[in-house]
Structure 1
């Protein structure tokens, strides 16, 4: 009898353990503050590079915090990245690009039926001149069944004083008077390299892509520009340059590579204006985006 009791106790102990407890490795918060143009290292057919998701994000993904936020918390990072796209759509050019450098502080609150509002103190970098400034920003993610782009206000006076007019005018005249229309592919290539003559086209692609990323952003997304698959200058009779562009975006949360086709114009007085944007069907065999760590 005593032997049977021992066996039963051993079985019960195995069944009534703690199956829900899982030990996970500590994640590096720096993963959420990558360079604004960082991309996955490789894409193997339909499988893409899986970036480790921070434990904090996995545990709290469905719980939107209010009040003060940790700067490295995923909510603050995603809202701050939207500010980067907003600045590029309004002020970006081939010689002026904005990237999120650091989140200093953040606060989130529910605003009645309007949505969720984030008050942010962030550091923004103008990448080409390597100039960094602390900026205040407000991001409102609208609430509703139909997704709408976030509303953004940002104050970055010093960065906006950077004057690139002369460079832009020179580039515009060069492109306007070229004997043949420009085109380029794979910016950057699989080694992260871009030919110097193609850098302005890459920068124009980044600015144009920010229109898509701003429009598609929500509290559940985090977009990075991955690659300009191809960009082609189109003939035009007015004082605008026109480009057809195929871009690859890296959605960091889902780890998807998303393809978009854009039609946009650029001139120094008007800036970049996106005329059409179309998401392309999911590809079964992805290109390998470059490694630009």
Structure 2
């Protein structure tokens, strides 16, 4: 009888395993993705707070996403950095100098009393025509309050600002200042992504002018790109400045809509782009999505 009881106990032990073995909570989901800006919990923290309310944890993660250190590849940092690109174009852009965001290296966000939310960023900016690149420090403040307020930007990119394009700009200005048959063109680029060489400065000029719209419209929840110049018409020269009427298409990366804007502006080498009027046009139902919207 004693021998039989020993055998039965041995069999039961082999089937059920050791009663002292524990599976660590969460081990089965160890490969699951975590919030990009959350701080990983230690085993002790997991055991201590394992019973926390799920909604409270989500609120904590949302707070971490919006303040403190940001993930450079995620939307909060990318959206703020894109504003810096638009700012540089409005201040320093020309038909031969256009700035683009290349990389976000690091970023932080913080609430500033009742003023809004401030982002401090380290980014690399590229001048798209010369391909020159510089690492820059920048600060973006998204104001709070009623109505639409443009972000306030401070940026230090001294190397890129020293790129000398005065000779090309002056030659272009003189050519079209004396132009008897004023410029008119459509679809820059065309449906194949092609732009005639002579029209490239006017595509660049459209990008610079579009940055005035994108800077004005930018918020923490928006992300815009220039898509296409649908139409450009040169108007009569005024006060020693070339004058243009542009119909531009912007790509709203959030809604995936193509937004049409009319821009009236002047340009001269000494004064740069001066926007006289900007107007959002009614939504164009059935319009084909233009190329080059990334």
With structure 1 as the length reference, what TM-score do the two structures score? 0.78
Determine helix, strand or coil for the equivalent of 1:231. Answer: strand
Structure 1 segments of 4 or more deviating over 2 A?
60-64
1 CA distance for matches of 2:96 and 2:141? 29
2 CA distance for matches of 1:180 and 1:231? 14
Aligned to 1:94: 95
Aligned to 2:134: 133
1 CA distance for matches of 2:291 and 2:63? 32
Unaligned runs of 5+ in 1: 1-24, 30-59
Quote how far apart the aligned CAs of 1:290 are. 1.3
CA distance 1:63–1:250, change in 2 (3 Å) = farther
Larger RCO (CA under 8 A, 6+ residues apart) = 1
The answer to whether residue 145 in structure 2 is matched with residue 144 in structure 1 is yes
Aligned to 2:286: 285
With structure 2 as the length reference, what TM-score do the two structures score? 0.78
Quote how far apart the aligned CAs of 1:236 are. 2.4
Unaligned runs of 5+ in 2: 1-31, 37-60
Determine helix, strand or coil for the equivalent of 1:250. Answer: strand
RMSD: 1.8
Aligned to 1:71: 72
2 CA distance for matches of 1:156 and 1:126? 11
The answer to whether the 8 Å contact 1:191/1:291 transfers is: no
**Bigger Cα Rg:** 2
The answer to whether the 8 Å contact 1:192/1:292 transfers is: no
2 CA distance for matches of 1:168 and 1:220? 36
The answer to whether residue 111 in structure 2 is matched with residue 110 in structure 1 is yes
CA distance 1:63–1:186, change in 2 (3 Å) = farther
Determine helix, strand or coil for the equivalent of 1:171. Answer: helix
Aligned to 1:184: 185
**Number of residue pairs aligned between Structure 1 and Structure 2:** 237
Aligned to 1:238: 239
Aligned to 2:220: 219
For residues 166-205 of structure 1, what are the alpha-carbon distances to aligned partners after superposition, in whole Å with 9 as ceiling and x for unaligned?
A: 1100000011111210011000011100000110110110
2 CA distance for matches of 1:170 and 1:180? 17
For residues 214-270 of structure 1, what are the alpha-carbon distances to aligned partners after superposition, in whole Å with 9 as ceiling and x for unaligned?
A: 000000000000000000000124200000000000010111110000000000000
The answer to whether the 8 Å contact 1:102/1:122 transfers is: yes
Determine helix, strand or coil for the equivalent of 1:206. Answer: helix
The answer to whether the 8 Å contact 2:258/2:289 transfers is: no
Determine helix, strand or coil for the equivalent of 1:208. Answer: helix
The answer to whether the 8 Å contact 2:191/2:291 transfers is: yes
For residues 132-153 of structure 1, what are the alpha-carbon distances to aligned partners after superposition, in whole Å with 9 as ceiling and x for unaligned?
A: 0000000000011312000000
CA distance 1:63–1:248, change in 2 (3 Å) = farther
Alignment of 1:1-293 (within 5 A): 64-291=65-292
